Structure formats: C-alpha cells, structure tokens
C-alpha cells in the first residue's frame, strides 16, 4: 500500500467509510442525481458475475437509474436480457444499441451529415448510453459487466468525489490490483507489459517534454474501464470506437478540464474475464494493443511537434522491448516474494508479440491515420437537438413492445 500523490489527485483506501459515502450520496441524490452505465454483450447474462452485480446494485439506493448498453444479435436475446434485469430493483433502462429502432435513429442522424453508423462495438454503445444518461443526471459512472469481485462499494467510490460539493471533481478514474489472490496469479498483462513501458519509451523519443504523457503516467491503471464524470463533461468529450476507449477518454478529459478537477480512486482487488493473446493483430490482446497504440500515436500527433515516422517507430520499439524486459525482472521479484505463480517465459513471449505489433500498427498508421473518434454530444445535439430523447424513447418502446408480446 502506498500513500503517494500523483499529478492527478489520488484517493487511497486507507480506511474509506463506504457507509458514510452511501448515506451522503443519498442526501445529495435529489440535487445531484447519478446514473450508472453498464455496457454489455448478450453473453454476459450467462456469467455469475452479472448476477452478483445486480444483487450489489440493489443495495445502492443513491443511484437514480441504471442504463444498460446492450449489444444483442436478435429480439430473442434482447428479451432474455430484459427478463434478466427484472431482478434489478433500481430504475433501469436497457438500450438495445444495435436494435432496429436505435439503428433507424442513427440513420436519420446520418442523413443530417453526421455519421456514427460506421462505428461498432463498446465505444459506440457507450456513446449512445452517455447521451441517454445525461438527460437527467449530474454525474455518470460506468463499469463493465464482468467484474467478478464487484461490491456495492464500487459505485459509491466512483461517484462520491464527483457529487460531494466539498470535493467537486469533474472526473474520477478507478484503479485496482489485478491480482487473483485465490489462484496466486498476476493479471493486467496489456497494462503491465505494454502500456507502462510504451509510455516511458514514448517519453524518451518525444523531442520536448510532453505534458499529456506525464499525465497518462500519473494514472495507476490507465486501462481501467471504471470511471465517473460530471454529465456536462461527458457531453463535451469524444471517445474512440475501439479498444483505445480508455486511453482516448483520458486524453479527451485532459483537453476539456483542469488537472485539479481530475482524480483516481483505489477500488481494491479486481477480477474479470481474460482475453487470449490472439493469433494475429486482428484478435484478442494483440488487437487491443494495436488499437491502444493507434490512439497514442494520434495523441502524439495532435499534442507534440514530433513527427511519426519509421525511424521514430523503430526507436520506440527498441526502447519499449528493453524497458518491458526490465519490468519482467521486477514483476518476477514481486511475484516471488508474494508467493504468486509467475511464468516468466510466458511474459517474455507477450513482450515479443507486443513489440511486433508496434511496427505493424505504426506502418498502418502512416499509410492511413483515419479518424476513429465518435463525435462529442455537443456536436450531435447541434445536428439533431432531440437525439437523446429519441434514443431514450426508442429504448422504452422496445421494452414496451416486448412486454406486450409476452
């Protein structure tokens, strides 16, 4: 456990009183209402983790609404998810993000020369949910649907620094230890073995000091999918539509608010499902690494005077690999002293694979640095002022139609 402050305020859990937080949030709920967004695939209803999340959320009386951003293949899957969330006692709304009603509205937006239909996946679903959630909220929190170690304390820790007037932060990022204590395993491979050494190697290669890279380094878990923010801030940010979501979101927060209004909070231990490495750059962890690197390259191009070139990429790759290998030695020592099962050879193979992605992704970026950011909601509302209400009403109509057909 540490007590060090970073460039962004760090809220450690030395002795956080979650009951106090919950009571205070209940007091503030009328003047500063909160909404929790849960993006999910249909397959998540089969996991025990989501059942526990529902059970824990039922204890969170300070939350005004839960918005479930669902990706489902057909009406049958959508109906099953609706039935699953009937156990959720809090007010909630399931948005079938790729359903026909929502799709028709986005096609209408496209006719007004703002096209988001080309985006697929979690980023787009989160974008839709943020629009709906911001209609009647002061603060929005978001977390994934596969958190095995989820407890009712998580949303309280996320929302409290935003909603409490004495603190009044605009953005709060969760961080945690990716350690499976029961099985003695160390997870978080993409952050530990890619993002951390990549940031350091990028710092070395940038020709002058990059404040935004220092900012990224201040976060203890850059890839955390758990965060909360004020709703007005949520309307002003653009997010990537791919695995670069978390990194791209942090960059947008940096651009849209002051450092003193940003914090991170300790969420303890964290366990969820794990992705495989993947056979090629288009799947698994390799695709995640590709999308994250693409986002970082875009950020460097936007915020520094350093040109992205093949010599730059070669230099980054060489430095990255050495720094990552040094980290493996450090992680090995940490795991050994804590009695964790640490496969040093496997960690080395991850670094080898990730280093190959650097050149492939960088060369593709040089050929085509295409736009991967969804528009911010301020622009979307300029194109279609009632877009949020249309999306909300479409979700309500979907649910009503299913109830009538049952």
pLDDT higher than threshold 90 for residue 278: no
Share of the chain above pLDDT 90, in %: 79
User: What number is the average pLDDT over the span 45-58?
Assistant: 95
Backbone angles phi and psi of 308, in degrees to 5: -85, 120
Contact 224, 249 (CB under 8 A): no
pLDDT in tens, 252-274: 999 999 999 999 999 998 876 66
Asked whether residue 289 carries a pLDDT value surpassing 70, the answer given is yes
pLDDT, residue 274, reads 61
Burial environment of residue 370 by CB neighbours within 10 A (0 to 12, 13 to 18, 19 or more): exposed
- What is the number of other CB atoms lying within 10 angstroms of the CB of residue 404? 7
369: confidence class by pLDDT, cuts 50, 70, 90: low
Pairwise CA distance, residues 4 & 11, whole Å: 10
pLDDT per residue as tens digits for the range 379-393: 999 999 999 999 999
Could you tell me how far CA 73 lies from the centroid of its own chain? Answer: 23
DSSP string, 230-252: EHHHHTT---BSSTTHHHHHHHH
Render pLDDT for 145-176 as a digit per residue (tens, 0 to 9). 999 999 999 999 999 999 999 999 999 999 99
pLDDT band, residue 403 (cuts 50/70/90)? confident
Mean pLDDT of 104-127: 94
Does an H or E element contain 288, and which?
helix 284-303
pLDDT at 370: 63
C-alpha atoms less than 13 angstroms from C-alpha of 378 in its C-beta half-sphere:
9
> In terms of pLDDT, which residue wins out, 106 or 279?
106
Q: What is the mean pLDDT of residues 132-145?
A: 97
User: Residue 39: enclosing H or E segment and its boundaries?
Assistant: strand 34-41
Over residues 338-363, mean pLDDT: 94
Q: Exposure pattern of 332-348 as b/e (b: 16+ CB <10 Å)? A: beebeeeebebeeeebe
Q: What is the pLDDT of residue 404?
A: 74
Q: Collect all residues with Cβ–Cβ distance below 8 Å to 313 and sequence separation of at least 6.
A: 358, 359, 362, 363
CA distances from 211 to 203, 205, 254, 306 (A): 10, 14, 10, 13
What residue ranges do the domains of the chain occupy? Answer: 9-405
Pairing of strands 185-186, 179-180: antiparallel
Dump pLDDT digits (tens) for 185-220: 999 999 999 999 999 999 888 866 689 999 999 999
SS3 content of the chain, % helix, strand, coil (to 5): 55, 15, 35
pLDDT at 277: 67
380-386: long-range contacts, CB 8 A cutoff, minimum separation 24: 380/109, 380/114, 380/116, 380/131, 381/235, 383/109, 383/112, 383/113, 383/114, 384/108, 384/109, 384/112, 384/114
Residues 6+ apart with CB under 8 A from 55: none
For residue 406, the model assigns a pLDDT of 64
Residue of higher predicted confidence among 18 and 368? 18
Write phi, then psi, for 180 (nearest 5 degrees): -90, 95
Note the pLDDT of residue 367: 85
Share of the chain above pLDDT 70, in %: 95
Q: Is the pLDDT of residue 240 over 90?
A: no
- Cα end-to-end span (Å), the chain: 52
Question: Average of pLDDT values for 360-380?
Answer: 87
Pick the CATH number of 9-405 from 3.40.50.880, 1.20.1250.20, 3.90.550.10, 3.30.360.10: 3.90.550.10
């Amino acid at each position: 456990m540490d007590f060090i402050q970073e460039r962004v305020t760090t809220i450690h859990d030395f002795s956080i009183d979650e009951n106090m937080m919950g009571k205070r949030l209940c007091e503030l709920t009328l003047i500063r209402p909160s909404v929790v967004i849960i993006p999910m695939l249909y397959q998540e209803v089969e996991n025990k983790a989501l059942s526990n999340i529902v059970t824990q959320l039922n204890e969170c009386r300070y939350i005004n609404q839960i918005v479930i951003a669902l990706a489902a293949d057909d009406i049958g899957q959508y109906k099953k998810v609706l039935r699953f969330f009937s156990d959720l006692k809090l007010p909630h709304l399931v948005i079938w993000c790729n359903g026909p009603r929502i799709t028709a509205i986005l096609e209408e937006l496209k006719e007004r020369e703002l096209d988001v239909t080309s985006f697929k996946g979690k980023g787009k679903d989160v974008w839709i949910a943020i629009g709906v959630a911001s209609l009647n909220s002061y603060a929005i929190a978001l977390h994934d649907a596969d958190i095995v170690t989820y407890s009712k304390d998580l949303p309280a820790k996320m929302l409290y620094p935003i909603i409490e007037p004495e603190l009044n932060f605009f953005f709060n990022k969760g961080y945690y230890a990716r350690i499976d204590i029961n099985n003695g395993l160390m997870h978080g491979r993409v952050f530990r073995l890619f993002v951390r050494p990549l940031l350091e190697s990028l710092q070395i290669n940038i020709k002058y000091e990059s404040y935004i890279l220092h900012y990224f380094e201040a976060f203890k878990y850059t890839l955390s999918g758990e965060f909360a923010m004020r709703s007005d801030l949520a309307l002003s940010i653009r997010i990537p539509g791919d695995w670069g979501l978390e990194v791209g979101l942090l960059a947008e927060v940096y651009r849209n608010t002051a450092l003193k209004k940003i914090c991170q909070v300790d969420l303890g231990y964290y366990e969820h499902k794990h992705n495989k490495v993947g056979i090629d750059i288009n799947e698994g962890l390799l695709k995640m690494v590709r999308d994250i690197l693409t986002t970082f390259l875009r950020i460097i191009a936007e915020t520094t005077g350093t040109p992205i070139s093949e010599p730059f990429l070669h230099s980054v790759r060489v430095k990255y690999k050495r720094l990552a290998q040094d980290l493996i030695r450090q992680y090995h020592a940490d795991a050994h002293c804590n009695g964790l099962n640490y496969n040093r050879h496997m960690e080395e193979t991850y670094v080898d694979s990730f280093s190959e992605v650097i050149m492939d992704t960088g060369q593709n970026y040089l050929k085509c640095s295409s736009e991967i950011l969804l528009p911010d909601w301020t622009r979307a509302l300029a194109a279609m002022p009632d877009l949020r209400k249309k999306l909300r009403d479409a979700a309500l109509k979907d649910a009503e139609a299913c109830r009538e057909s049952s």
